[in-house]
A and B are shown apart, each in its own frame.
Chain A
Amino acid sequence: MFGGGGDSGYKKLSTVNRRMFIMTAAKLVIFGGIITRLFSLQINENKKYLTLSDKNRLREWRLPPVRGDFEDFFGNKIASNLKVYQLHVVPEQVEDFRYLMIRLRDILDIDSKTFKKILKKRNQQKSWETLIISENLSWDQFAKINFYLHELSGAKPVLSVARNYPYNEKFTHLLGYVAQASEKDLIENEVIKKSHVPGLRVGKIGLEKTYENQLIGSNGIQRYEVNAYGKRINQIDFVEGKKGTNIKLTVDTEIQAQCNELLKDKAGSICVMDIYTGELIAMHSSPSFDPNLFLYGISHDNWNEILNNPKKPLINRSIQGLYPPGSTIKPIVALSALENDVISTKFKVNCTGKTEMYGQTYHCWKDTGHGIVNLRDALKVSCDTFFYEMSRRLGVDRLNLTAKKFGLGEKVFNGTYNEEKKGLIPSTQWKKNALGRGWVLGETLITGIGQGYMQTTPLQLCLMTAQLANGGFKIKPKIIYDKKSDTYEKIKYEMEKNRIELLSDFQQDDALVDFSLERKKRDTDLYKPLYRNQENVKFVLEAMFASTNEVRGTSYSSRISDKKYQFAGKTGTSQVKKITEIQRELDLDISQIPYEERDHALFVAFGPYINPRYALSVFVEHGGAGSSAAAPLAKKLFKTIVDRHEEREKIREKSLMEI
Chain B
Amino acid sequence: MFKETALSGQTTFFQKLRSLDYILLVCILILGVISSFAMYATDGGELLYHTKSHVLRFIIFFIMMFVLSFLNIRFWHATGYLFYIMVLGLLIWASLYGITASGSQRWVDLYFINLQPSELMKIAIIVCFAKFYHRAKINQINHFKNLLVPMMILILPILLVVSQPDLGTSILIALSGIIVLWLAGINLKYFIYSGLFLLISLPFVIAFLKPYQKLRILTFFNPDKDPLGAGYQIIQSKIAIGSGGLTGKGFLKGTQGYLEFLPEKHTDFIFTLFSEEHGFIGSLALLFIYGVIIYRIIDIGKNARSFFGKLFCFGFASSIFVFITVNMSMVLGLLPIVGSPLPIMSYGGSSMLATMIGFSIVMSTKIYQKQLIA
Which residues of A come within 8 Å of B, CB atoms? 1-4, 8-9, 11-13, 15-17, 19-20, 23-24, 27, 30-31, 33-35, 37-39, 41-43, 45-46, 48-50, 52-53, 56-57, 225-229, 233
Contacts and interface: CB of A to CB of B under 8 A. Distances in A.
Nearest to A226: B259
Contacts of A9: 138, 307
B280 A38 contact: yes
Interface stretch (B16-24, B83-91, B148-156, B324-332): B324-332
Interface residues of B, number: 52
Contacts of B3: none
Given A3-B307, A3-B372, 19 more contacts: A3-B373, A8-B138, A8-B139, A12-B138, A13-B310, A16-B314, A19-B182, A19-B185, A20-B298, A20-B301, A27-B318, A38-B275, A38-B283, A41-B238, A49-B243, A50-B243, A56-B239, A57-B256, A226-B259
A37 B244 contact: no
Contacts of A41: 238, 241-242, 332
A72 B224 CA distance: 59
Contact of B246 (A30, A45, A46): A46
B137 interface: yes
B329 A13 contact: no
A23 to B, nearest CB: 6
Contacts of A52: 239, 242-243
A577 B374 CA distance: 132
Contact of B138 (A4, A35, A57): A4
B18 to A, nearest CB: 27
B42 interface: no
Contacts of B302: 17, 20
Contacts of A50: 242-243, 245
A33 B184 CA distance: 27
B279 interface: yes
Nearest to A42: B280
B284 A3 contact: no
Nearest to B276: A53
A35 B260 contact: no
A120 B143 CA distance: 77
A16 B311 contact: yes
Contacts of A39: 280
A31 B184 CA distance: 24
B73 to A, nearest CB: 12
B306 interface: yes
Given A3-B135, A38-B283, A228 B182 contact: no
Interface string B302-317: 1000111011001000
Nearest to B141: A12
B240 interface: yes
B242 A48 contact: yes
A42 B185 contact: no
Contacts of B287: 31, 34-35
B307 A49 contact: no
Candidate in B137, B275, B306, B325 with the most chain A CB atoms within 10 angstroms: B137
**7 smallest beta-carbon distances between A and B, as pairs:** A49-B242, A53-B243, A228-B260, A227-B259, A42-B280, A41-B242, A12-B138
A69 B294 CA distance: 74
A56 B137 contact: no
B255 interface: yes
A37 B260 contact: no
Contacts of B243: 46, 49-50, 52-53
A8 B137 contact: yes
B183 interface: yes
A233 B256 CA distance: 13
25 contacts: A3-B308, A4-B135, A4-B307, A8-B137, A8-B139, A9-B138, A11-B138, A13-B310, A19-B183, A20-B298, A20-B302, A23-B314, A35-B287, A37-B329, A38-B283, A38-B332, A39-B280, A46-B243, A46-B245, A49-B241, A50-B243, A52-B239, A226-B259, A228-B259, A228-B261
B315 to A, nearest CB: 10
B145 to A, nearest CB: 17
Contacts of A23: 179, 183, 314, 318
